[in-house]
Structure 1
Amino acid sequence: MEKKSFTDPKVRPHARVKIEDVARKANVSPATVSRVLNHPEIVRPELRDKVMRYITDLSYTPDSAARALKSGRMRTIGAIVPTLGLGIFAEGVEALQNRLSESGYTLFIANSQYDQRRELQEVQSLIQRGIDGIVLVGGSHGRELRELVAQAGVPVVTTYVSKANGGIPAIGVDNERATHEMTEYLIGLGHIRFGAIANIPPSNDRSRARLDGIQRALSKVGIQLRPTQIIRADHSLAQGRGALRQLLTDHPETTAVICTTDTLAIGAMAEARKMGLNVPRDLSVTGFDDVELSAQVDPPLTTISIPAAEIGRGAADYLINAIAGRPVPKSVLLPYRLVMRSSTAAPRVNERSAKRTRTKIR
């Protein structure tokens, strides 16, 4: 049997279904089909259902490229986060995507790995692809990035902070105030021998603010952390473990460790257990973010809960309104919550100091 290819004039691939084809089958105008697709809430339910049946039967998909050329918009939003390895960012991105999808926008995601040069490259790539809006994280963005988005005229909002440098609108929490409150809580329990584990690369202004909040609260009661009492670490469980061992090697008298992320705190608790220490009887440990795992570890982690999903939805609403030319706020401060769980307790200094001396390093 002779085979025929698509180059044979007698054989044609299936032509793309057009909006006019749907309109003809449904016995309505193309404008009505367009309204069903773009503004279904203004179409009578029975008519909307009828048109949708023909859209499904004919396997019609809107020509988004043609719509983009006509409107000058791609209906795409870009989000650049430091990493998706932290649950707090994944939760925010999911909420962002869901809210954007409700308004017909597609989300592109990139990560910067806490590198401002990489963040700039990702922003350049998004703008070159005709992105309609950009979501960033944090308030520390280079001058080149701010100039680039200003020149492109693309709406931008940054997240997880309540104020941003360079005039970029922000939606998030007051990170410094949150750890200030956490530190006051530990002071109230009777702790005076503190240590901190912080992931503070140059671009991570959120963790720097959290460390500032810790130090400010301690200074109010006459406590100053020495450089060796502040352990700098990356955002991983292993780094949290190593940081705790280093801190307790240099300062075995420590009774409270404040971490700038839950991941570091969970790693620190695991290392404390390996060293033969009981949390919280021998050592109180706190985190920040309130990821899902923090309530499931043993003991459950005392932490700061931040509204990641609300931040994601708020960022989506900001960009949707900005693109539509509606008024938008310059900054939105959202509430955090101190979650007191079983990883913190009043110190038992004398008994614990003796035990720490015996088990300093195993």
Structure 2
Amino acid sequence: MDKKSIADPKGRSRPRVKIEDVAREANVSPATVSRVLNHPGIVRPELRDKVMRFITDLSYTPDSAARALKSGRMRTIGAIVPTLGLGIFAESVEALQNRLSESGYTLFIANSQYDQRRELQEMQSLIERGIDGIVLVGGSHGRELRTLVEQTGVPVITTYVSKAGGGIPAIGIDNERATREMTEFLLGLGHVRFGAIANILPSNDRSRARLDGIQRALSEAGIRLQPTQVIRADHSLAQGRKALRQLLTDHPATTAVICTTDTLAIGAMTEARKMGLSVPRAVSITGFDDVELAAQVDPPLTTISIPAAEIGRGAADYLISAIAGRPVPKSVLLPYRLVVRSSTTSPPKADRLPKRPR
């Protein structure tokens, strides 16, 4: 069977259905059919449904290869994420894919495993495939990757941070400011004996910024965390449990533990319970991300809520505009929320910070 014909049910070949055939049957212009296929979000639902019925009835299949050759674009976007195992990234990627699909783009996903060398390799592979735009995570990227972005001119945006180095545009939250607010909330409850559990990796600038926010807020309150009060842990429930036990073994008087992710915090709460400690009466524990499980654990977790879906949609909108040559912002700062639940309360009276005079 050649590329210009298809077989009907009786085995005879017939001409391949063209976009003009769909337009004629639906009584619309070929441009309208094209909009339905490439930009369905801008077409009235009634008209879109009507055209889609004729597309289905006529078994019309767009020749994407021909469209790509004509436009010089493959209508594909790549996303390189640190891990596929975190719900917070899954939510963002799903929103990214949905928004891109509305505009006729296909999404390819790669996993860097928090390794900048692997991130660079994935970036090179995507560019070699003729990708139209790329989404990254975080603002910490190797010099070679930034050079590659400059040399190729492929539109790139990084996510989950409000600023990025090397001139790469960013969309996300102010991670440092968020943990400062969380720390100030705990100080307001009267806590004075703190510990932190942080997922610190060379490529994870989000956790580094979150730890900076904790330490700066405490410093302003006259409290300095000792090195043994900051436990560095890989991102897992088991590591959260291990870190909490280590922290409380070295500093048993600790009344507030701030974690840089919900996963670490939930692991810490699990270990506290195993150690016979009440959360929050004996120790308050907080997280960061507001994953779905955060509201379901016992007690529900006080955390920072990140607008993950909005980050994904915003990244898609940025790339679609950049590819089309429309003006785009250098960075987009999105709001976060401090979500107070039942894993935090005031410490016992003997351990409270005296109220500061107004």
TM-score by length of 1: 0.88
**Displacement after TM superposition at 1:188 (Å):** 1.2
1:70 aligns with 2:70: yes
Contact 1:89 1:308 in 2 (8 A): yes
**Displacement after TM superposition at 1:208 (Å):** 0.1
Contact 1:255 1:349 in 2 (8 A): no
More moved, 277-286 vs 15-24: 15-24
Matches within 5 A, 1:99-114: 99-114=99-114
1:94 aligns with 2:94: yes
1:324 alignment partner in structure 2: 324
1:300 aligns with 2:300: yes
2:150 alignment partner in structure 1: 150
Letter in 1 for 2:212: D
User: Once superposed, what is the RMSD of the aligned Cα atoms?
Assistant: 2.6
Matches within 5 A, 1:16-165: 16-19=16-19, 21-22=21-22, 33-34=33-34, 36-38=36-38, 51-165=51-165
Contact 2:75 2:132 in 1 (8 A): yes
Letter in 2 for 1:62: P
2:216 alignment partner in structure 1: 216
Q: d(CA) in 2 for partners of 1:52 and 1:284? A: 55
Q: Which has the larger radius of gyration?
A: 1
Letter in 1 for 2:276: G
Corresponding residue SS for 2:166: helix
Corresponding residue SS for 1:166: coil
**Displacement after TM superposition at 1:37 (Å):** 3.5
**Displacement after TM superposition at 1:221 (Å):** 1.6
Q: d(CA) in 2 for partners of 1:282 and 1:224? A: 21
1:347 aligns with 2:347: yes
1:289 aligns with 2:286: no
Structure 1 residues 350 and 325: alpha-carbon distance in aligned structure 2, compared to 1, 3 A threshold: same
Structure 2: tracts of 5 or more residues without a match: 1-10, 353-358
Structure 1 residues 186 and 41: alpha-carbon distance in aligned structure 2, compared to 1, 3 A threshold: closer
Corresponding residue SS for 1:167: coil
Q: d(CA) in 1 for partners of 2:317 and 2:136? A: 14
2:232 alignment partner in structure 1: 232
Render the CA deviation track for 1:250-291: whole Å, top value 9, x for unaligned: 111111100000000000000000000000000000000111
Structure 1: tracts of 5 or more residues without a match: 1-10, 353-362
More moved, 47-56 vs 150-159: 47-56
Letter in 2 for 1:347: P
Corresponding residue SS for 1:271: helix
Contact 2:136 2:158 in 1 (8 A): yes
The percentage of aligned residue pairs carrying the same residue is 88
Contact 2:262 2:303 in 1 (8 A): yes
Corresponding residue SS for 1:140: coil
Letter in 1 for 2:134: I
TM-score by length of 2: 0.89
Q: d(CA) in 1 for partners of 2:135 and 2:35? A: 29
Q: d(CA) in 1 for partners of 2:138 and 2:317? A: 18
Contact 1:136 1:156 in 2 (8 A): yes
Corresponding residue SS for 2:185: helix
Matches within 5 A, 1:254-293: 254-293=254-293
Letter in 1 for 2:329: P
**Displacement after TM superposition at 1:41 (Å):** 8.3
Q: d(CA) in 2 for partners of 1:48 and 1:267? A: 48
Q: d(CA) in 2 for partners of 1:232 and 1:45? A: 51
More moved, 91-100 vs 32-41: 32-41
**Displacement after TM superposition at 1:57 (Å):** 1.5
Structure 1 residues 83 and 50: alpha-carbon distance in aligned structure 2, compared to 1, 3 A threshold: closer
Q: d(CA) in 2 for partners of 1:186 and 1:30? A: 61
**Displacement after TM superposition at 1:306 (Å):** 1.2
Structure 1 residues 22 and 155: alpha-carbon distance in aligned structure 2, compared to 1, 3 A threshold: same
**Displacement after TM superposition at 1:187 (Å):** 1.0
Contact 1:170 1:330 in 2 (8 A): yes
